[in-house]
Amino acid sequence: MRTFDPGFAGHIASGATTLCWCWRIVRRDGIVLGFTDHDMALDFEGTFFVPAHGLDGSETVERSGAQTSTSEVLGVLHSETISEDDILLGRYDGARVESWRVNWRDVSQRALIRADTIGEIVREDGVFRAELRSGQHALNVPKGRLYQHLCDARLGDGRCGIDLEQAPYRGEATVTAIGDAMTIFVDGLDDFEDGWFAHGHVRWSSGRREGIDDLVVRQAGGVLGFAGPVGDWVGLGDTLTAYAGCDKQFGTCSAKFGNGVNFQGFPHIPGIDFVMRYPNTSDRLDGGVMVR
């Protein structure tokens, strides 16, 4: 059973309450926004909560066990707070949303009711509807390692050990042309061999996508192909930093990065095709290393 601060509990028990909802949104890039369904701005815990002009929260269905509880926040898009561009660009994907119940006459009387993450966001006719997923949603995320041939580390993380900020693994570029939604042309990567940035990513340093990372699926000279549409949000002269990519193969780890000692896959495990094969006199079955 939830317990509240005595002052807040006394206010609720009085029967004549002055309560409102406040929502604090913490984006993954660190930007914090505050909204309230009250008609005046409120300020507490270092966040300024502005009237949301129609922001409304739905009822929440609580479930027992480890099932994920969901609710929604519905509101009107305003360019000075939550812009449609920011939503389309994914700046709110995975953001943390805190739902507070507050006495607007005395904001020291308040309680954090829920802490969720933003799931699916739907936009239509100038209105956004954001799905809020409870903390149990994290239980649906796979944890632990996979026993497979491919490396399960992320290039550049602590398990991999490669420093992607070193010159051989990064390049600065400027957009010179836009091919289509998935393809752009850049200047500054011609000194790198074709495919060097395939399976890598770029981080935009200017333009409408500034601060956003996009996955690269192919690269040939100054041509970059992306896993998702970027062309509608990129302009000529926008700048980016491209980071080398890895296809998670042991051979790539060893030859391209000289990092075979830190390979986080299991290349020596025989595959199902090997297990199901019949013995053959031409096979090398001496127990030696299968992958070098």
Where is pLDDT greater, at 120 or 287? 120
Least confident of 53-62, 179-188, 247-256: 53-62
Strand 239-243 to strand 47-51: parallel, antiparallel, or no bridges (unpaired)? unpaired
For the domain covering 6-140, report its CATH number.
2.30.110
- Confidence check: pLDDT of 64 > 60: no
Burial state string for 124-143 with b = 16 or more CB within 10 A and e = fewer than 16? eeeebebbbbbeebeeeeee
- Confidence check: pLDDT of 212 > 60: yes
Least confident of 53-62, 223-232, 268-277: 53-62
**Per-residue model confidence (pLDDT) at position 61:** 46
List the domain boundaries for the chain.
6-140, 167-243
- Confidence check: pLDDT of 288 > 50: yes
CA distance between the termini of the chain: 59
The average confidence (pLDDT) of the chain is: 84
Q: Read off the pLDDT band of 164 (50, 70, 90).
A: very high
Q: Which two tokens stand for residue 27?
A: 């984006």
- What pTM value is reported for the model? 0.71
* pLDDT tens digits, 126-154: 667 777 777 766 676 677 787 888 999 99
* pLDDT tens digits, 22-63: 989 899 888 998 988 898 999 999 999 988 754 555 544 444
Highest mean pLDDT among 31-40, 66-75, 210-219: 210-219
**Per-residue model confidence (pLDDT) at position 65:** 47
**Per-residue model confidence (pLDDT) at position 292:** 52
Looking at the chain, the whole-number percentage of residues with pLDDT higher than 70 is 82
**Size of the chain, expressed as the number of residues it contains:** 292
Cα 55 to Cα 34: distance, rounded to the nearest angstrom: 11
- Confidence check: pLDDT of 196 > 90: yes
**Per-residue model confidence (pLDDT) at position 137:** 65
Residues 203 and 241: beta-carbon distance below 8 Å: yes
- Confidence check: pLDDT of 75 > 50: yes
**Per-residue model confidence (pLDDT) at position 226:** 96
Q: Read off the pLDDT band of 270 (50, 70, 90).
A: confident
Rounded to 5°, angle at Cα 212 from 208 and 213: 135
Residues 54 and 76: beta-carbon distance below 8 Å: yes
The neighbouring-strand residues paired with 180 are 183
**Per-residue model confidence (pLDDT) at position 79:** 45
- Confidence check: pLDDT of 88 > 60: yes
Highest mean pLDDT among 1-15, 48-62, 253-267: 253-267
Residues 75 and 52: beta-carbon distance below 8 Å: yes
Where is pLDDT greater, at 232 or 239? 239
Domain 167-243 CATH class label? mainly beta
Cα 148 to Cα 161: distance, rounded to the nearest angstrom: 20
Least confident of 65-74, 97-106, 260-269: 65-74
**Per-residue model confidence (pLDDT) at position 99:** 87
**How is residue 168 annotated by DSSP?**
G
